[in-house]
Amino acid sequence: MAATVPRAQAVEVRRTAEGLELELTGAWRAREVAAIETALAAVDLSSVPRVRVATDGITELDLSGAWALGGFVRRARRAGVEVSFRGTPPDLLRLIEQTLAEEPAGAVSPAAAAAPEPADRALVAIGRYVVRSARDLVHGLAFLGRTCTTFAASLAHPRRLRPISVVRHVYDTGITAMPIVALIAFLISVILAYLSAQQLRGLGADIYVVDLVTIGVLRELGVLLTSIIVAGRSGSAFAAELGSMRLNEEVDALTATGADPIELLVVPRLLGLAIALPLLTILADLIGISGGALLCRYLLDMPLTQYVNRVNYAISPSTFWVGIIKAPVFALVIAFAGCYRGMQVRGSARVLGHLVTVAVVQAIFLVILADALFAVLFMKMQF
């Protein structure tokens, strides 16, 4: 085995009476192809009638090296130069010629798709985007419809609601999310309390810190932040899980055995999350209010009894319900975005990654959009 690489000039050119004499030396391997190409390109073929190539100086020749040599020979012949070999030409050259000769070379270039005129490009891109978005919307609605009808159909037969599967999803999306949801709720109440204390102290309105923290957490922030965390955690998990099942043809296998993937995979996830998210929201509310109490006690020196009294005064049951009623809606939005994008996966790992990203981004966007709509709705209803 030649362990060391002989770094010789690949091509020695001699000018003789009847043309060029090329003495090829050194190793002609894949690793040296870049250098070889440069050396061959430097050979001046203008006004040369014939070239004689000597290959016996080559210490090692592999397919890539032979390809470079073959390319040179073709270039020379196209330029009208007669090419001959001293001794027999390497076998690999024949192999390459055979391989490439079977089809007209360059007949089909892989990247030769019809590119639109530069002037049209923006227009074409916009058109494609619109068509794709419209189609996506239609497909999304169709999926939503199928999910709803499947759910309605399985309501008549409770066994088809897959209780065991639902419980598993409640555990995966709810119980395991408790620590992070609690931590975030606590930190949010700290931020709210600090922010409002700083502003309200100057006005001597310390007591309103309690109102701000409790109403803020109960009405909006508790449910919203929990939903965003869950969208990142479980929306992506749904999309990735269903997506890889698609890639693995598991979904097709289900369909082939006569099972409905929507009933088996999608509905339990929707139900599971619709149960888990309200429970997580209650946890976030509790922790948020307790966090507020802690802050008021140590930051504003407010006795705990005063805090509790103020909380009782500031909020009514409807404050809690306004927040909690949004949770199942957000849960369905998140689970639907995750499942729909997951079921869309086809073909490759790249598509999977893209669709998981889309699932999470859309879930978060739709949650915030729905929250805004709720805010308007509740204001009109004077809740």
Q: How many residues bind another protein (CB under 8 A)?
A: 32
CB 6 within 8 A of CB 26: yes
User: Which CB, 71 or 328, lies closer to another protein?
Assistant: 71
Contact status: 64 vs another protein (CB under 8 A): yes
- Interatomic CA distance for residues 205 and 193, integer angstroms: 13
CB atoms closer than 10 angstroms to residue 43: 15
Which has the closest alpha carbon to 322: 269, 283, 281, 272?
281
User: Which CB, 37 or 371, lies closer to another protein?
Assistant: 37
User: Which CB, 110 or 118, lies closer to another protein?
Assistant: 110
Of residues 183 through 222, those in contact with another protein by CB under 8 A are: none
- Interatomic CA distance for residues 319 and 213, integer angstroms: 12
Helix (H, G, I), strand (E, B) or coil at 116: coil
Minimum CB–partner distance for residue 101 and another protein (Å): 10
Contact status: 33 vs another protein (CB under 8 A): yes
Contact status: 77 vs another protein (CB under 8 A): no
Q: Cα separations (Å) of 217 from 135, 187, 190, 295?
A: 39, 11, 11, 14
Q: Which element (helix H / strand E) includes 134?
A: helix 118-155
Q: Which of 133, 348, 365, 372 binds another protein (CB under 8 A)?
A: 348
Contact status: 30 vs another protein (CB under 8 A): yes
Pick the piece of the chain touching another protein (CB under 8 A) from 11-19, 87-95, 120-128, 278-286.
Answer: 87-95
- Interatomic CA distance for residues 232 and 251, integer angstroms: 24
Minimum CB–partner distance for residue 8 and another protein (Å): 18
Contact status: 250 vs another protein (CB under 8 A): no
User: Which CB, 74 or 168, lies closer to another protein?
Assistant: 74
- Interatomic CA distance for residues 178 and 200, integer angstroms: 32
CB 359 within 8 A of CB 338: yes
Minimum CB–partner distance for residue 322 and another protein (Å): 45
CA atoms within 13 A on the CB side of 359: 33
CA atoms within 13 A on the CB side of 247: 17
Of residues 89 through 148, those in contact with another protein by CB under 8 A are: 91-92, 95-96, 99-100, 102-103, 107-108, 110-111
Q: Which of 347, 376, 379, 380 binds another protein (CB under 8 A)?
A: 347
Minimum CB–partner distance for residue 97 and another protein (Å): 11
Listed in sequence order, the residues at least 6 apart from 72 whose beta carbon sits closer than 8 Å to its beta carbon are 40, 43
Q: Which of 7, 14, 31, 86 binds another protein (CB under 8 A)?
A: 31
- Interatomic CA distance for residues 356 and 241, integer angstroms: 10
Minimum CB–partner distance for residue 38 and another protein (Å): 9
Q: Which of 8, 45, 63, 180 binds another protein (CB under 8 A)?
A: 63
The DSSP code for 381 is T
- Interatomic CA distance for residues 311 and 193, integer angstroms: 14
Q: Which of 78, 157, 159, 350 binds another protein (CB under 8 A)?
A: 350
Q: Could you list the residues that contact another protein (CB under 8 A)?
A: 1, 29-31, 33-34, 37, 62-65, 67-68, 71, 91-92, 95-96, 99-100, 102-103, 107-108, 110-111, 346-351
